[in-house]
Structure 1
């Protein structure tokens, strides 16, 4: 083992470990690793930032720009009412919406497809009284499955195609992935739709006349009026008497620090507590609690909206006290559903992360403007989306670009460039503003990881790893080799993003193919498929993170629903790759 190979292995293991603990922003980890690789001599200076000019990165940027336009058309808004009136079974509705999500995901990134159909699914849940838990997770899985069907469905597919092009001179065509991805996606969507109503059955609601009320656990800060039944109660009594989990008691703007049993609530105290949103609604209606609102609050023409913090949101990492985007519009954050159970300080000290849900109160137009600015997704729009076109023309322009790619007339990067230019000329997109709104952390991470992945091949590290594995396993047998590559990709992707999995494993997969004298296409398809089949954890893919927050799932829920889907997807993908590509 050479110094370059040893240092690259150490660097990769260290980066994967930091990605796993999720304490440092992904773009910081990627740039740090990129510069460390240069310092270790793994690539020359002219290759350090080569990833930023890679066609893969440019294509991802173009897809994200197109998604911004398509998300604003809101052509699916009427679908919820039609589905609700169709009197279909739970399974049929979940299967239909999952199928729509999977289809959209074929042509755009997974998060974009999920964010387009999620509000529709939640609206259907409200209208039909089907539990939202039956919808959200299957939609997340469907978006991941749909991404396996086409070249542009996920960055992992673009990356393995780029690796193939560097190795053989020609990459994958637009729908080469469909031979494996489409059957796996169809089978997976059907299984997820069948499992959801059985794993998350309907339960009797305690408030039948409030079909739109949230059942999630919400953290909020409340004033205690003099007439409240909480006055005189011990904090230790709140869970049993009022179904409230107290976190802090504030009196005269100072924390009350005695032990919980000795802390007695007095009038005009402020209580930081967590409970089902239904409980808060009941106590508020009974004047037992009053919302702590921002100064300058206007009572007229207000509404309540739930919004989820998206991966590209500017709010990620911010504390509630610093959210000028809401305060400047007299929009109050009155509640927070956190993914993390950790609560420190007062309500305005809470730090936001991906998948957290904000409970907002304010004027509908003000909430819409604020959510547009900070890139959060309203789970039930307070009014028609700002800038919504309701037009089919952006879809037609995008379809023309897809057709040009499918027939081989234009490469993906050129076809999507033409789509973005046409959308700009037709005033459907302001490129300057759209570029500012891009999910730059993902783009920077992707660009920074490309030179590191290339070093796996140029330093011979991929060949070394493949040779070492060949002494343990009979990888010359194509079925065994494919099974190992697919398994490695699937066990890595729950812990690091799928683009990193594709970058790291593509050179190793090519070496597997070389050792066994097999087609590299088969092994690279296995990498791409495995990198997208991420159903076991809520943190492996941002879609699952969002689903956990919106659907109030536990970690065990992903194991129960994702386990059978993972097994089905693994073996069906393995058989299809072997039959089609070898």
Structure 2
């Protein structure tokens, strides 16, 4: 269908495509990479993007650089840096201000030299442990930590995808890209001011959720663990655990089997059940009733209590009332030694919108799901019915030797382990050395950023800093597809004249005002966009608008591009604007409306500091 026949200009069609794309991003029903790919293919079919250049974005230097930085960041994660940081950070004591200063300051520094989500992933377990050891609400630490990772990304070229995108765009327009530390003068000042604001004022604006995510009270595992005995007449007698699950048509996790005082973990028990076996499992009242009715398992009776213990017994769960059984309530059992770990579902996890059965969690990954928490509270529905969401906190059981790899494959971030230590190879010095050589090559213009970072990633894989399979897993597929698909669409916004139309409207609005007002308007528009769509997409869409605006004012392009770079990374208002915000949603027990309480004042602080600094470093 020719565009002339329907009376629509290329710019109008671009606006329609982008409008639908942004609406789909905000709706959230479909993943952002699928939305971006749909926008690209739609643009090709409408003649906005030439078919021969539709997939050129996959080879774009910005996309290659982002992929390489993700691999290098994963190498840092595996090199033992988290242990070194944890040992130092955990020494700060119980003063909350000092904890915030060290945690947020560390993540700011790390985010400048590695992917900011990776930096947050390193420090999230450390923050959780600090909260537990000092009986602090994790909500007071996690949102400042997430926002600190965004601020740290402002400081260098590789700190965040918007910087890489803006640098590449400048290269395509002027022939010279921004360097590794071109963003540092402005970014460091903004990050330091943001850090001071968060530590002194901002944390007071975050809600203090007591007993929230990833505290022992969230799952309170012992209160849900029960011992069930296999009687002689039980249908379970003679069945394997898998046959028992098939009989129940349930995914009730059996944590351990006790036979003759010998306890074996459920994932490692392959024999058939015998009379007298004790099953240690996590179950609620409905599951207990199901186990009794379907397979005849009976709750292990408690021994007679001494008078001094009667008050303690009165506080136990009323299982006999809730399950309709007259049997005595099951006693809490010792959980020591069970291989339990808590993990949060990342936004790029394969678990999102899928159930335990669809994932084949036990058969394929060797993991038992024990419990799920969402929005700071434990989900009470049956485990088989739960469809996982980004930010869910999971309590899992698995083999100590395999659980780290399983979590990585699933796209889950371990929060804090119980009786479990995830060993990682200590190759920190080698990782830092490779990274430093890449930085030197970039500083002296020996290699372009994409080539230098790719070389560093390749060497890391070749010398074993990072296993090859994990290197591929480190490359965030949805982000790569998003960038590669939106690059041609962003170019279409420029070539169709759409960016010039938007810039013309902004010029008319700002013609009677100083240019700094237009820069502020550009900042606010880009910042709002980054809070509802991916920050990389915001940078891709706003860069050509910034260029047209600079051309209209007949001033330097650089301050306008710097405004977009900073503002696109300031997604402080919602949990969906950036993966860092989403990652702390569940563990912190936050609600959607909690973010703007700290995010809005922090955004205003960044706006007030960034624009004068940009004009000072990059004059018009």
- The alpha carbon displacement at 1:106 in A equals 0.8
User: What RMSD, in angstroms, separates the aligned Cα atoms of the two structures?
Assistant: 3.5
Q: Which moved more, 1:416-425 or 1:100-109?
A: 416-425
Q: What pairs with 1:42-61 in structure 2 (closer than 5 Å)?
A: 42-61=48-67
Q: 1:409 aligns with which of 430, 439, 446?
A: 446
2:406 is the alignment partner of 1:370: yes
Between the two proteins, the alignment pairs up a number of residues equal to 528
Aligned to 1:38: 44
- The alpha carbon displacement at 1:322 in A equals 2.6
Query: Matched residue of 2:453: which SS?
Result: helix
Aligned to 1:286: 316
| Equivalent-residue separation in structure 2 for 1:552 and 1:139 (angstroms) | 14
Query: Matched residue of 1:379: which SS?
Result: strand
- The alpha carbon displacement at 1:266 in A equals 8.4
- The alpha carbon displacement at 1:75 in A equals 2.2
Q: 1:518 aligns with which of 547, 552, 555?
A: 555
Cα distance per residue 1:193-250 (max 9 Å; x no partner): 22355345879889xxxx9843448999979999xxxxxxxxxxxxxxxxxxxxxxxx
- Please report the TM-score for the alignment, with normalisation by the length of structure 1: 0.83
2:216 is the alignment partner of 1:214: yes
2:80 is the alignment partner of 1:74: yes
Query: Matched residue of 1:359: which SS?
Result: strand
Aligned to 2:289: 269
Query: Matched residue of 2:351: which SS?
Result: coil
Cα distance per residue 1:123-161 (max 9 Å; x no partner): 222223332222111110011011111111111111111
- The alpha carbon displacement at 1:531 in A equals 0.4
Asked if 2 retains the 8 angstrom alpha-carbon contact of 1:43 and 1:455, the reply is yes
Q: Which has the larger radius of gyration?
A: 2
Unaligned runs of 5+ in 1: 227-251, 255-264, 272-281, 293-298
Query: Matched residue of 1:142: which SS?
Result: helix
| Equivalent-residue separation in structure 1 for 2:570 and 2:286 (angstroms) | 53
2:44 is the alignment partner of 1:9: no
| Equivalent-residue separation in structure 1 for 2:50 and 2:359 (angstroms) | 43
Q: What pairs with 1:478-489 in structure 2 (closer than 5 Å)?
A: 478-489=515-526
- The alpha carbon displacement at 1:474 in A equals 2.2
- The alpha carbon displacement at 1:410 in A equals 2.0
Cα distance per residue 1:278-329 (max 9 Å; x no partner): xxxx999936569x9xxxxxx9942321101123322222212333243456
Asked if 1 retains the 8 angstrom alpha-carbon contact of 2:151 and 2:570, the reply is yes
Query: Matched residue of 1:76: which SS?
Result: helix
Query: Matched residue of 1:147: which SS?
Result: helix
Aligned to 1:115: 121
Aligned to 1:23: 29
Q: What pairs with 1:130-209 in structure 2 (closer than 5 Å)?
A: 130-195=136-201, 197-199=203-205
Aligned to 1:359: 395
Q: Which moved more, 1:499-508 or 1:340-349?
A: 340-349
Query: Kindly tell me: are residues 317 and 201 of structure 1, through their superposed partners in 2, closer, same or farther at Cα, counting changes over 3 Å?
Result: closer
Q: 2:356 aligns with which of 316, 320, 328?
A: 320
| Equivalent-residue separation in structure 1 for 2:453 and 2:615 (angstroms) | 32
Q: Which moved more, 1:215-224 or 1:510-519?
A: 215-224
Query: Kindly tell me: are residues 28 and 269 of structure 1, through their superposed partners in 2, closer, same or farther at Cα, counting changes over 3 Å?
Result: same
Q: 1:493 aligns with which of 520, 523, 530?
A: 530
| Equivalent-residue separation in structure 2 for 1:399 and 1:494 (angstroms) | 33
| Equivalent-residue separation in structure 2 for 1:339 and 1:203 (angstroms) | 11
Cα distance per residue 1:360-394 (max 9 Å; x no partner): 13443343342133231111145443543253211
Aligned to 2:566: 529
Query: Kindly tell me: are residues 300 and 96 of structure 1, through their superposed partners in 2, closer, same or farther at Cα, counting changes over 3 Å?
Result: closer
2:492 is the alignment partner of 1:440: no
Unaligned runs of 5+ in 2: 1-6, 229-247, 251-284, 292-311, 324-334
Cα distance per residue 1:22-56 (max 9 Å; x no partner): 10111111111101001111121111001011001
Aligned to 1:338: 374
Query: Kindly tell me: are residues 266 and 495 of structure 1, through their superposed partners in 2, closer, same or farther at Cα, counting changes over 3 Å?
Result: closer
Cα distance per residue 1:149-208 (max 9 Å; x no partner): 1111111111111211111111111111112111111111121122355345879889xx
| Equivalent-residue separation in structure 2 for 1:428 and 1:334 (angstroms) | 33
- Please report the TM-score for the alignment, with normalisation by the length of structure 2: 0.78
Q: 1:541 aligns with which of 578, 584, 587?
A: 578
Aligned to 2:71: 65
Cα distance per residue 1:322-367 (max 9 Å; x no partner): 3324345653212111259998974312111221111113443343
Asked if 2 retains the 8 angstrom alpha-carbon contact of 1:320 and 1:348, the reply is yes
